[in-house]
């Protein structure tokens, strides 16, 4: 379980006195706790799927922050966010290649009998469901859109 692993790594980060790792893990654990409270869960740990969803949300926040800090010429803060982003990415499953995503998209397009762009959203949703968090939504959208060019 990823949640349990991250909780155990908090102690290692404290021992190592790694401030960036420690703050990133603490932030993640806080996000996990907030999610459990929001959903009314009484379990000790979230499922791996729930954890991955939260981590992806955190990754997206870091990417947006990096972009904003870079625009504002705050490279010191952007660098900190980049370090946290690298830590977060270690907890995510390996991303699928664009070739693998394209194969899935083509199969789903034929399966759902999608012939034009009006059903683009349905196809993107089906491909995202099939990839189960192993593909970035923007990459999937780009590949699906390319099928109609």
Task: Kindly list the averaged pLDDT for each block of 10 residues, start to end, along the chain of length 149.
Answer: 92 93 95 92 85 91 95 94 94 85 88 82 86 80 84
pLDDT at 122 (0 to 100): 86
- Superfamily holding 2-89: Uncharacterised protein YqeY/AIM41, N-terminal domain (1.10.1510.10)
Q: Which of 139, 149, 12 has the alpha carbon at shortest distance from 87? A: 12
Q: CA 9 → CA 47, 58, 77, distances in Å?
A: 17, 18, 24
Domain with CATH 1.10.1510.10 in the chain: 2-89
Please check whether residue 91 is in contact with residue 55, taking contact to mean a CB–CB distance below 8 angstroms: yes
pLDDT at 98 (0 to 100): 87
The sign of the CA dihedral 14, 20, 24, 26 is positive
Please check whether residue 75 is in contact with residue 49, taking contact to mean a CB–CB distance below 8 angstroms: no
Please check whether residue 20 is in contact with residue 83, taking contact to mean a CB–CB distance below 8 angstroms: yes
Domain with CATH 1.10.10 in the chain: 98-146
pLDDT at 147 (0 to 100): 82
pLDDT at 129 (0 to 100): 85
CATH number for 98-146 (one of 3.30.2310, 1.10.10, 1.10.246, 2.40.50): it is 1.10.10
pLDDT at 54 (0 to 100): 93
pLDDT at 67 (0 to 100): 94
């Amino acid at each position: 379980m990823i949640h349990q692993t991250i909780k155990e790594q908090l102690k290692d980060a404290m021992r190592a006195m790694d401030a960036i790792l420690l703050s990133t893990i603490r932030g993640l654990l806080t996000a996990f706790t907030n999610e459990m409270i929001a959903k009314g869960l009484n379990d000790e740990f979230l499922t791996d799927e729930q954890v991955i969803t939260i981590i992806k949300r955190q990754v997206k926040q870091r990417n947006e922050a990096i972009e904003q800090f870079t625009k504002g010429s705050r490279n010191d803060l952007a660098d900190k966010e980049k370090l946290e982003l690298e830590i977060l990415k270690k907890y995510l499953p390996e991303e699928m290649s664009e070739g693998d995503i394209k194969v899935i998209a083509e199969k789903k397009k034929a399966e759902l009998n999608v012939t034009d762009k009006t059903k683009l959203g349905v196809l993107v949703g089906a491909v995202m469901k099939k990839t189960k968090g192993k593909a970035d939504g923007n990459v999937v959208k780009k590949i699906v859109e390319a099928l109609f060019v």
